[in-house]
Structure 1
Amino acid sequence: MLWNDLNINHPKEHHLLLSLLWELLDIPGIHAYISQTYWARNMPLLLFSKALGNSFCIGIYDTSIVSEDGKPKQIAFAQWVTDYASFGWLGDVYVIEEYRGRGLGKWLVQVAVNLEEIKE
């Protein structure tokens, strides 16, 4: 799919990257955060990963912090649950606490709701 190629640097904080690349997602980190919710509290990581694999996921990353495996630190997340035809639900939107108050959630949602693949 073409959307896998979308990478956008934040207009003011150029070390922050919004990306649709599945390979960058920190699945265990997302699971740890989302498992605090009522609906995912007891969901095993493998099942959670499968659920994400059937969603349209968006992440924001701090490229100035890189893990041992070469991935930038994931600091925000959102997912579209969609059939790509008649239904779309944007959910599980979050920004980790130390990055809040910088407009990143607004940026994430603004990009998410304007993606051509979702609007079609």
Structure 2
Amino acid sequence: MGGMTEISTARHVFSSDPSRIDAERVHALLSTHAYWALGRPREVHEAAMAGSRNYGVYDAETGRQLAYARVVTDGATFAWLCDVIVDPDARGAGIGVRLVQGVLADLEPLRLKRIALVTEDAHGLYRKAGFEVLDDPERWMVRPGVL
């Protein structure tokens, strides 16, 4: 999976080190605050983490995890950015922007053809990072799962 990325400021630390992830905290944030993951069972989240690249932003002073994202990728052509969440008490401080910038910096050496995501309400955040609305969404298809 390559080397680990860590980017620090006086207040926050972005890290791609999976050992820093507070899985219990991340599950609590997603299962109670993320419209796409409400009620997600812990074992489902842990399986998703195990099959993904995991990222966090942490308070530089306390080490507390403030944000999380994961990426599902083949590491060569495509990536899916998902489960992006910032602790509701930490929103408005640019942490989401730092998180997405860090994820993209970590993926850059892979020279992926496409990084995709789905969002209901954060288009502005992702536009700042270079994401665009699909020109031809009718070409994309999805097969609903069992959850």
> Given the two structures, how large is their TM-score scaled by the length of structure 2?
0.65
Q: Which entry has the higher C-alpha Rg, 1 or 2?
A: 2
CA deviation profile, 1:12-69 (whole Å, cap 9, x unmatched) = xx1411001111101011111111345534433223112111111110011312xxxx
Percent identical residues? 34
Q: How many residues align?
A: 110
RMSD: 1.9
Q: Where do 5+ consecutive residues of structure 2 fail to align?
A: 113-147
Partner of 1:24: 20
Partner of 2:127: none
Q: Where do 5+ consecutive residues of structure 1 fail to align?
A: 66-71
1:75-94 mapped onto 2 (5 Å cutoff): 75-94=66-85
Asked if the contact 1:7/1:20 (under 8 Å) is kept, the reply is yes
1:61-72 mapped onto 2 (5 Å cutoff): 61-65=58-62, 72=63
Asked if the contact 1:30/1:77 (under 8 Å) is kept, the reply is yes
Larger fraction in strand = 1
Tell me, what secondary structure is at the counterpart of 1:113?
helix
Deviation above 6 Å: which 4+ runs of structure 1?
Answer: none
